[in-house]
Amino acid sequence: MKPQRLQAIARKEFIHILRDPRSLGMAIAIPMLLLMLYGYALTLDVDNVPLVVWDQSESPASRGFISRFVGSRYFSLRGHVHNYREVERAIDSAHALVALIIPRDFAGRIESGRPTSVQMLVDGSDSNTAALAVSYADTVALTYAQGVALRQIQRDGGHAPRLPLDLRPRVWFNADLESKNYIIPGLIAVIMMVIAAMLTSLTVAREWERGTMEQLISTPIKRQELILGKLVPYFAVGLFDVLLAVLMGEFVFRVPLRGNVAVLFGMAAIFLVGAMSQGILISVATKNQLLANQLAMVTTFVPSLLLSGFVFAIGNMPKALQLVTYVIPARYFIALLKGIYLKGVGLEILAAEAALLTVFSAAMVFLANVTFKKKLV
């Protein structure tokens, strides 16, 4: 491999990129746009659950109970209703997700120390959101019931009992439990996988469609020099995209970056080499820009989004799909990014993921070189 020939191919690709500023602009703008769109739209936090209340008691006790829901950041009072028909209409029209129905004898039972029941109707169309809303409501009701019991004991002259277990949870790495701290690093991996493969999936196919591949084949350039020369310019663009994504995570989304920045960019470089080599492999195999673009999207975006553990936990997938996830490179890069971003750990902990990501990149480079033939047929 001669550096002069490699430099000539890389220079040719750089000139092509600079002569097409729209494509260059899109290569930089699309990752930023996707990160902004998904970063703000995709959230696993369930806050401000819309709530309507049918307070049949209309007493200080019932209003105190309702205030526990209104004062929580998890519920947002959307109004009061006066019968089951209005409750049904509010849930059917998505005006409310939860309806709280307090019976007429609520205050009397509370004051006399008798157990009472409060009904809660939940829209279960979105099972995950409904389950979280029920969990939040159980916590609010339990806290209120404990407060009532303690007041009754004190009113009767007794002493508040000591609880046998005092659970004090402490959350590490994401103390506020904000989903954006979990989502943004994963988004960087998914977006870089898609963009990297799409950037290079057109390179060799474009040469075939424009008829310039015959000229390249007739030169003494070796296939390794051709593949690597086409990879270098897009690798530079990809690293610049990673830089912008990291800066956006830091200053736009305020995601803490606790780990080593050098390790982050080192792993990103290995990941980009593999993803871009996969794009070149697709380009070599298809020899058609439209088909290469579509195949790159199907083989990168869908697996990276669904089978990498970014959205759905791998442990909850069927065993067959769990085995498939081992060949998804985004799985390892997402694990690396989350470890570096949230836990601040390095390669001493993430060595296995880094090694598997390196194996993927080396395999893609090897396959791209083996697949490309300096022949017209």
Nearest 10 degrees: Cα torsion 254, 256, 261, 265: -60
Looking at residue 187, what DSSP letter applies?
Answer: H
**What number is the average pLDDT over the span 17-46?**
80
Q: For residues 279 and 285, is the Cβ–Cβ distance under 8 A?
A: no
Q: Are 140 and 69 in contact (CB under 8 A)?
A: yes
Return the percentage of the chain with pLDDT > 70, whole number.
Answer: 96
Q: Are strands 75-80 and 119-122 parallel, antiparallel or unpaired?
A: unpaired
Q: How large is the average pLDDT for residues 271-298?
A: 90
The reported pTM is 0.81
For residue 159, pLDDT over 90 is answered with no
pLDDT bin (cut points 50, 70, 90) of residue 227 is confident
Tokens standing for residue 99: 């309806």
**Confidence band (pLDDT; 50, 70, 90) for 158?**
low
- Highest mean pLDDT: which range of 39-43, 282-286, 288-292, 353-357: 353-357
Domains and CATH numbers, the chain: 3-43+178-371 (no CATH), 49-155 (3.40.1710.10)
**pLDDT higher than 60, residue 278:** yes
pLDDT of residue 322: 93
pLDDT above 70: residue 162: no
Give tens-digit pLDDT for 362-375.
999 999 988 888 66
Query: Helix H segments across the chain?
Result: 3-19, 21-41, 60-70, 84-92, 106-112, 127-155, 180-200, 203-210, 213-218, 223-251, 261-286, 289-306, 319-324, 329-338, 347-371
Of 2-11, 79-88, 228-237, 279-288, highest mean pLDDT: 79-88
Q: Which of 252, 262, 126, 76 is nearest to 180 (CA)?
A: 252
Instruction: Say if residue 176's pLDDT is above 70.
Output: yes
More confident residue, 131 or 165: 131
Name residues whose C-beta falls within 8 Å of residue 71's C-beta, 6 or more positions apart in sequence.
none
pLDDT digits (tens, 9 = 90+) for 38-74: 888 777 777 889 999 999 999 999 999 999 999 888 9
- Whether residue 38 contacts residue 187, with contact meaning beta carbons closer than 8 Å, is answered with yes
Q: For residue range 339-367, what is the model confidence (pLDDT) as tens digits?
A: 999 999 999 999 999 999 999 999 999 99
